[in-house]
Amino acid sequence: YWEAALTAGVKRIFGSADFSGKFVGVQSTGMSAAELHEVSQDVVADRIAVATSQIVARGARTVILGCAGMSGMEDAARRGRSGVDIRIIDATRSGVTTLEGLVRAQRL
């Protein structure tokens, strides 16, 4: 579900999911947010590594860890990069940093 829904969201917001080949798609771990907390962290890390490997094989060079349950799982994503130099963005940390900046800007 999430792969199609998030790709559709990219198309809706940006008018396209092409980005001249920059957006290669969405790759899910196949796990629900609840499962990220219910199963062994080793299993979660393995699934993140596999998902990263799949999206990197399609050409991704930036990987966004897309839910709060994946926050702090950058090492698992790095395991799946197959030696390819990639950037990993923790969406939760990124959101908090952006929010902090907006709050600080209001104080000036």
Cα radius of gyration rounded to whole Å, the chain: 15
For residue 75, what pLDDT is reported? 94
Give percent above pLDDT 90 in the chain. 57
Using the predicted structure, report yes or no on whether residue 15 has a pLDDT greater than 70. yes
**Residue 17 contacts by C-beta under 8 Å, 6 or more apart in sequence?**
7, 10, 11, 23, 25
Using the predicted structure, report yes or no on whether residue 93 has a pLDDT greater than 90. yes
For residue 21, what pLDDT is reported? 65
Using the predicted structure, report yes or no on whether residue 107 has a pLDDT greater than 90. no
| pTM assigned to the model | 0.83
Q: CA-to-CA distance for 77 and 70, rounded, in angstroms?
A: 10
For residue 13, what pLDDT is reported? 83
Element (H, E) at 87: strand 87-90
Is the alpha carbon torsion for 41, 47, 51, 54 positive or negative? positive
